[in-house]
Amino acid sequence: MLKKTLSALALVTAFSAVAEPILLPGGVVVNNPAVPDNSNGLGNVNSSLEFIQWFEVTNPDDASQSAIVGLDQVNSTTYGSLFGTSSTATFGFDDLSLFGAGELTLGNGSGDLNCGSCELTLSFGGLGVDTANGGFNLDGSFVNIYVSDLASDFDLSALFANKDNGAAANATQMANLMGGSLWLSGTFDQLVYNADNNPYNVTYSGLAAGSLVAAVQVEPTTAGTGIANDNIVNDSLTSFGDFFNFDSFDALAFSLSSSFVDGGATNQINTISRQNSGDFSANMVSAPGSLAILGAGLLALARIRRSKK
């Protein structure tokens, strides 16, 4: 227990030593880094998210083809009608994968990301529905954040003109979403999904409304990865106490909740989710100077330990 306490203290002390603005690639800055609360999954960078979600199904005869579908189409819509084939087979819940798009909120408050004349857009997905295990298969998952000039003018509200049915993404907005430089990239590493306690949700295997807490793993910057990946302090966060029982991880998308239920008298299912809220948190440092300061803080802890032997 003492060892864990000293390690956490060293990490907080190291971050406190670099409480000046954190300078990140792409002109992004954290003007007012937060004091990390690592054992509760909160780093020195904390940003709220505005996002939408949808489900896709892949053509079993051609993996390069996919279609956006609503939960109310499960077990009733054929692959043939989606992909223009003769197939009369229908798809089930476990054939679905969850995808999403959004924007990170910018500001100058505690832990806020900011970049003045740019925007940070978010794309995530590849979360395969796994009803037998009450959640999602993470094998094909991804999380990408892009930094782009405001001239790209991404408009989340215009990504889908019709959120109720017949959903088709606006090609211009989809290009704007992923048109900037890949800033941060990773994969979902650990995830807990909690379906809303609503009898109506049972019809849709709990997928119509719920929330998830997810640990994101970030690899070092290489060709094809985010330009800010090296600014993440790896394995510096743990979960919310013992409840979620996560191992240490790099970044956290938490309180990510949404609903596909319209909420009207008919409880209509929307193809694109409503009522979305979420947050992103990580420990980040300016490179390379701040990494050296962090290392010095941990070395100091090591010297303290040796002196006590």
Residues 119-173: tens digit of each pLDDT: 999 999 999 999 998 789 999 999 999 999 876 788 898 898 766 655 688 889 9
Residues 91 and 197 in one domain: yes
- Tell me the backbone φ, ψ of residue 114, rounded to 5 degrees: -150, 150
Residues 37 and 163 in one domain: yes
Give me the DSSP letters along 124-188. Answer: EEEEEEEGGGTEEE-TT-EEEEEEEEGGG---GGGSBS-SSSS--B-HHHHHHHT-SEEEEEEEE
Is the per-residue pLDDT at 12 higher than 60?
no
Host domain of residue 121: 30-284
Per-residue H/E/C for 74-116: CCCCEHHHHHCCCCCCECCHHHEEEEEEEEECECCCCCCEECC
Residues 124 and 257 in one domain: yes
Residues 191 and 218 in one domain: yes
**Reported confidence tier of residue 208, pLDDT bands at 50, 70, 90:** very high
CA angle 293, 294, 300 (to 5 degrees): 90
> What would the pLDDT profile of 16-45 be if each residue is shown by its tens digit?
554 789 999 999 999 999 999 877 778 999
Residues 40 and 107 in one domain: yes
Residues 197 and 297 in one domain: no
Threshold 0.75, pTM exceeds: yes
Query: Total structural domains in the chain?
Result: 2
Residues 71 and 219 in one domain: yes
Residues 228 and 183 in one domain: yes
pLDDT of 139 reads: 95
In-domain check, residue 123: yes
Is the per-residue pLDDT at 235 higher than 90?
no
